[in-house]
């Protein structure tokens, strides 16, 4: 099994750790990216300590979790239904998801997607 290194948080209030984990297998509409660069906010420890208070409407992902902003890298595998992205493409990962068919998406504003 192929593995990769991932910086993960196991418990709020503790430090991040570098773990060796299994490389995920892309589903039909997924793209697997080998991350070359990624940011993290300088006050992440403070944000995590107060997350439930500051963002009660956004549940934390199950821990351990990988955090990061503005990831970029190279596509290493694509799902069998992906048509517009190919292995070897250099990409920026936009973490926002959208439905592609609501009014906001059709107007070119997927960040405002209601879905």
pLDDT of residue 42: 84
- The pLDDT assigned to 35 comes to 94
Backbone angles phi, psi at 35, to 5 degrees: -70, 125
Residues sharing a CB contact under 8 Å with residue 106, sequence separation 6 or more, in sequence order = none
- Phi and psi angles of residue 25, each rounded to the nearest 5 degrees, phi first: -95, 125
pLDDT (tens digit, 9 = 90+) per residue, 79-93?
A: 999 998 999 999 998
pLDDT confidence of residue 77: 96
Cα separation, 86 vs 88, in Å, equals: 6
7-17 pLDDT tens trace? 999 998 888 89
pLDDT for residue 1: 59
Q: What pLDDT is attached to residue 50? A: 87
Regions of the chain with pLDDT less than 70: 1
Give the span between the Cα atoms of 35 and 86, in whole angstroms. Answer: 15
């Amino acid at each position: 099994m192929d593995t990769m290194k991932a910086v993960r948080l196991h418990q709020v209030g503790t430090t991040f750790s570098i773990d060796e984990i299994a490389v995920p297998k892309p589903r039909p509409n997924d793209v697997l990216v080998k991350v070359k660069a990624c940011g993290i906010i300088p006050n992440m420890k403070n944000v995590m300590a107060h997350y439930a208070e500051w963002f009660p409407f956004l549940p934390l992902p199950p821990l351990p979790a990988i955090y990061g902003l503005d990831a970029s890298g190279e596509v290493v595998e694509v799902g069998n239904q992906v048509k517009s992205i190919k292995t070897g493409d250099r990409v920026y990962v936009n973490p926002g998801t959208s439905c592609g068919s609501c009014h906001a998406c059709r107007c070119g504003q997927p960040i405002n997607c209601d879905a």
